[in-house]
Amino acid sequence: MTTKQALKLTHMASTSLFMACIVYIPVLALRQAGFKWWLIFSLSGHSVVVVLLLVSLYLFALFREVGQAQRIEAEHPLTTTAYYMAFYVAAPLLGGFAGTLGMLGAGDPFEFLLGVSLGTLGTTFAIWVIVDPLAALLEMLLPASRTHRAERLAQAEAQRRAHKERQEHVLAEAFAREERCREHWHQELHPRAERLAALLACDASRFTQAEQEALNIGAEAWRLGGLSCMHQLHDMAKAILGQTADGKERTDYIPYWWDGIGDWRKPSLG
């Protein structure tokens, strides 16, 4: 049997004992207070047992599994060892054994079990809540632990800065690439933008022909540079139309003409 398997079995036995002790103490207290067994069982039925089981498992995870998984051996030379882990996991069993030794002379079996339960809970609380955090704190005060922690934090900070610098470099390259594309598109799109502006200024008799020609221009822009290229062409056409306005208000049909070309979608009427 491996050490990990032994720890798992010990964990299961300790958790079972811990849960049984939690259930036994209030049941005994209710019984000594004069409550009937049927009432006790109704108060401490299956739902209460399930809740107590979940609470005990949560305490175990909170004070050991979660915290221990984040501990580094160089900074915690004691609490990361297999011996200490076995000691921690077996805390309820050790408490039950100590309670058994302390109640050997008891004649009442209920009082005997009460002593065992109190010993189990008391020892478990002391180890899980007091001894373990205190041991971890003392480990962190060791010079070697403090030095390793400082180096680890400095290394993590350096990695974070390097990651941030790489992200900024990638973003800068992306912006520069986009700017180069926009400059290139501007030269390619200028004649098309002028033509789109002229199509928007055409009269009603040529509307269908203008729409078809605008569709072809939009498809060319999509093939040239996708949605960004189409937006740039649209903006250029509107700017040219505004510069050559003859006093008449022109409707911008381009967003509707281009609907369905690539990823272009017409604006929502709502």
Position of tokens 């809740």? 51
pTM over 0.85: no
Say what the pLDDT of residue 163 is. 92
Question: Quick one: how far is CA 70 from the chain centroid?
Answer: 16
From CA 154, how far away is CA 16, in angstroms rounded? 43
Q: What is the pLDDT of residues 9-59, one digit of tens each?
A: 887 888 788 878 877 777 776 666 655 544 444 544 444 555 555 555 545
> Three-class SS of residue 259?
coil
Q: What is the pLDDT of residues 129-179, one digit of tens each?
A: 888 889 888 888 888 888 888 888 888 899 999 999 999 989 888 888 877
Longest dimension (CA), the chain: 112
What is the domain partition of the chain in residue ranges?
3-141, 162-257
